[in-house]
Chain A
Amino acid sequence: MAPGGYFGRALVVDVATAAAVVLPLDEEVLRGYLGGAGLGAWLMHRLAPPGTDPLGAQAPLAFVFSPLVGTPLTTSAKFAVVAKSPLTGMLNDALSSSHFAISGKLTGHDAIVVHGACDRPSVLLVDGDGARLMDAADLWGLPAAQAEQRLRERLGRGWRAAAIGPAGERLVRYATISHDGRHAGRGGLGAVLGAKRLKAVAVRAATKVAPADPGAVLAAARDLRARSFGPATAKYRELGTLANLLAFNAISALPTRNFQAATFAGAPRLAAEELAELRTVARNSCASCTIGCEHIYSGGGRTMRVEYENVFALGPMCGVSDPDAVLAASALCDELGLDTISAGGTIAWAMECAERGLIGAPWLRFGDADALLRVLPLIAAREGLGDLLAEGSRRAAEQVGGGSADFAPHVKGLELPGYEPRTMHAMALGLAVNSRGADHNRSGAYEADLSGDLDRFAGGDAQVAAAVETEDRAAVMDSLILCKFLRGVFREPFEEWAALLSAVTGWDADGAELRRTARRIVLAKRVFNLREGWQPGDDWLPERLLSEPLETGSGRVAALTPERLRSMISGYYAVRGLDPEGRPAQADIAGLGLR
């Protein structure tokens, strides 16, 4: 019998035939990897053939649920999509949320894995009757939201779909998978589904799952709900993540014009404080969430969810300050199914290439809103210049040459989020070493940079400790799964998370166990990447960030030298128990329980 909150099985579907097999997940695996990103890593070790082409038929892609999904615990209705990334060639997990998580889990599985490829555009349906395919010829080419709407109309109540947009169909390497407008955005997992000719995966609940101690879970849910209304989440409730923009600009942490500056004169026009007054249409929240971080804005004749990363990537990063254009570009990315961070980063790189005469696109200039709106559909359609940019900045720079790799804004192929590493040294380390690539959701080391507890311009041991700690916390939150916007309400996070997990599963987990779990998950991801060809040089930052000091708004010259970064990375490896080149000992790999 599975522990509370689990079914103890994954459904593995060959979408070439819709043949499905059940993969038992024993308690040791579940307790060791929890769910979400952690269990996804285990599944990829188990199911992904070594060296598999992420866009090949054999590549598996998993929708992974977690023990807390379906409980009344706030923010727990989340799922992870996990696969080898076509953008990075390494393990990628991307989280999304809302009803798909609940319905997907209540199909009776802790994960739904697809592999193989359909011979025509299809939708995979999974419910109590098992897995089957449905023709999706009429959905092919539609934005994900429209495809979802059609599926709701066709399938009826109770079905929830996660779908790809046109970018995923055309194998853009940073295409998203979305559900209810929320994107599993990073790493190009939409292209993995597109390569399988799967427009969507639709799920319908068929069963129930009970926590081990319903009373304790309910009490914890009430407590957490009350705390979720407190000051730790005020920022997300009241203005959303876009509140970062003006503050980051003030402290020279806002990447601008492809990391050529860290302040943007146009920032006030794009600030949440400004836009919220003028353009807020509504607030919204995911299923099972009491925070309600989504701020729906109007702009350019559309309405759209607005996040800091969207606005950073399509605004300051591209030098665009027209809020209508930035919001329209963000909405366009949603419709096309493009990761806004990678889209903005790749376009910003291309703008710099164009200005340097490295690519023949004189129309593509920093600050040109029309150019921004013109190039996005080209990327999604892989037309002309868009075909190059659909590869992401790393591959595009390899093609263009001319030194453009030095300013391609990526780590491991994943474009950098909106945190300036030269003025945030803890974050610089986190971005360099994380297994997913340059990412702010798997390494929240920026928390240390902004805490006031250390010198954000002088990375050292404290930054190493912060990067490890925040990476560990992310590993657990992404596996339980709880929304990171809730993180500020926990005073003793590992202990409190263990208490939640114990109430749901019946285990006697404690904080120390979850710390070990975090390290196991982090290491399992690194080991997967090693298997797929990771090299020590992959844990590094773009040359620009290490060779071009940055004059901040305060007049300070902020620099991150290769020596300082190397020193922090060495410290990170030491704390993680890795060898000086970042490789784990064989005994540690054997202890991961991977097969």
Chain B
Amino acid sequence: MPTRDETRHTIEAVPDTAGIVLAGGRSSRMGTPKAALEWHGSTLLRRTTGILARVTDGPVLVVRAPGQELPTLPPQVEIVEDPAEGLGPVQGLAAGLGALTGRADIVFVSSTDMPFLHPAFIRRVLRAVADGADVGLPLARGYPQPLAAGYRVTLAPVAARLVAQQRLRPAFLFEECQVARLDEAALRADPVLAALDPDLDSVVNVNEPADYQAARARPAPEVTVQRFGTLADGHRGPHPVRAATVSGAAAATGLALDRHVVAALNGDQITRDGETPLAAGDTVFFMSADAGG
């Protein structure tokens, strides 16, 4: 595990960043919409948007196909519709980046089907773009990962032009800008990422039912919970549990989230949203909502 000093600078949202989830794929191999797949009491799309929201300080957008139904999302998640269906990721990228022009500098773009995406991975990728590149492109688990990558918002007109030219592969975009390629060694050089996602499972995606079932069968991430005040009764001090959401962490320690209980994720933002996703290494504090006196 990373030391406290190593992790303490990894909590804060990366400045002037945003998130885009490309949800408009047809899910044909899965046979059912991947965005709505159940994930530890939540959905894959809810989890992905929640992970992006934890790392970025700007909007999180979901780009969907025209008329596509999405599972329930928090009200702050924005929905952008692709003007045309089936044109692939560069079309989604153009729509998403266009919607964020003037609202963020750098965007992490994700597909909807990466259930193990870790905040530390996103931070590392965004840092590559913040250091000066137009794109931060991971090369992980044997492949380039354009749908787990960082992009400058200024690429929006380039992506739109490529779509107009029917040049719909991400490689065409990379030909026209400066790309920082992050191979596995570069990614693992980040001590926090190396500790929290050593196998780079962040880029594992689920395309077929068997992928999903295998992923779903994995144990939930190990997180630490601590109960305070009257909630601490018999449960003082930090305890490791396995949980993929705040609700799951509460349940694992025998609590129910209600109007009298709130959670502080890594001592930072406070939430009552039980579907807030957790990742390996997180700490969740549960405390009385009736603070004061």
Contact = CB atoms under 8 A, between A and B. Distances in A.
A247 B11 CA distance: 18
A554 B8 contact: yes
B113 to A, nearest CB: 28
A244 B293 contact: yes
Contacts of A308: 293
Contacts of A484: 292-293
Contacts of B290: 232-236, 488
B292 A247 contact: no
B262 A451 contact: yes
Contacts of B8: 553-555
Interface in A436-462: 440, 444, 446-447, 449-453, 455-457
Interface string A550-577: 0011111100000000000000000000
Given A232-B260, A555-B9, A273 B291 contact: no
B285 to A, nearest CB: 5
A555 B285 contact: no
Nearest to B9: A555
A243 B9 contact: no
B289 A307 contact: no
Contacts of B273: 452
A453 B272 contact: yes
A244 B267 contact: no
A307 B258 CA distance: 26
A475 to B, nearest CB: 16
A231 interface: yes
A137 interface: no
B271 A452 contact: yes
A139 to B, nearest CB: 31
Contact of B228 (A240, A246, A447): A246
A554 B288 CA distance: 20
A463 to B, nearest CB: 14
Contacts of B271: 452
Contact of A251 (B10, B258, B264, B293): B264
Q: How large is the interface on A (under 10, 10 to 19, 20 to 34, 35 or more residues)?
A: 35 or more
B269 interface: yes
User: Which one of A246, A555, A556 has the greatest number of beta carbons of chain B within 10 Å?
Assistant: A555
Contacts of B263: 452
Nearest to B260: A231
Interface in A203-253: 231-236, 238-241, 243-244, 246-248, 250-252
Contact of B293 (A252, A452, A457, A485): A485
Given A250-B285, A309-B293, A243 B267 contact: no
A251 B285 contact: yes
A250 B287 CA distance: 10
A456 B271 CA distance: 11
Q: How large is the interface on B (under 10, 10 to 19, 20 to 34, 35 or more residues)?
A: 20 to 34
Interface stretch (B140-148, B159-167, B229-237): B229-237
B12 interface: yes
Nearest to A243: B229
A554 B268 contact: yes
B260 A555 contact: no
Contacts of A440: 292
A456 B260 contact: no
Interface string A240-269: 110110111011100000000000000000
A307 B233 CA distance: 19
Contacts of A555: 7-12
B288 A556 contact: no
B270 interface: yes
A525 B270 CA distance: 33
Nearest to B265: A554
A293 B262 CA distance: 21
Contacts of B43: none
Contacts of A488: 260, 289-290
Contacts of B289: 450-452, 488
B266 interface: yes
Interface in B264-284: 264, 266-273
B202 interface: no
A171 interface: no
Nearest to B288: A235
Contacts of A485: 293
Contact of B270 (A233, A236, A243, A456): A456
A469 to B, nearest CB: 14
A247 B272 CA distance: 16
B262 A450 contact: yes
Q: Which of B263, B264, B287, B291 has the most CB of A within 10 A?
A: B291
A440 B292 CA distance: 8
Contacts of A452: 262-263, 269-273, 289
A306 to B, nearest CB: 11
B124 to A, nearest CB: 16
Given A244-B292, A250-B264, A485-B293, A450 B270 contact: yes
Contact of A235 (B9, B11, B230): B230
A185 to B, nearest CB: 13
A273 B7 contact: no
A272 interface: yes
A236 B293 contact: yes
B293 A241 contact: yes
A232 B290 CA distance: 7
Interface string B1-23: 00000011111100000000000
For the complex of A and B, list the 8 residue pairs with the smallest distance between their C-beta atoms, beginning with the closest: A241-B293, A555-B8, A243-B229, A247-B228, A247-B287, A556-B12, A554-B11, A452-B272
14 contacts: A235-B230, A241-B292, A244-B293, A247-B229, A247-B288, A248-B291, A251-B267, A273-B228, A273-B236, A440-B292, A452-B263, A452-B272, A488-B260, A554-B267
Interface of A: 231-236, 238-241, 243-244, 246-248, 250-252, 272-273, 293, 307-309, 440, 444, 446-447, 449-453, 455-457, 484-485, 488, 552-557
Interface of B: 7-12, 226, 228-230, 232-233, 236, 258, 260, 262-264, 266-273, 285, 287-293
Given A235-B230, A251-B270, 4 more contacts: A232-B260, A239-B230, A250-B264, A250-B287
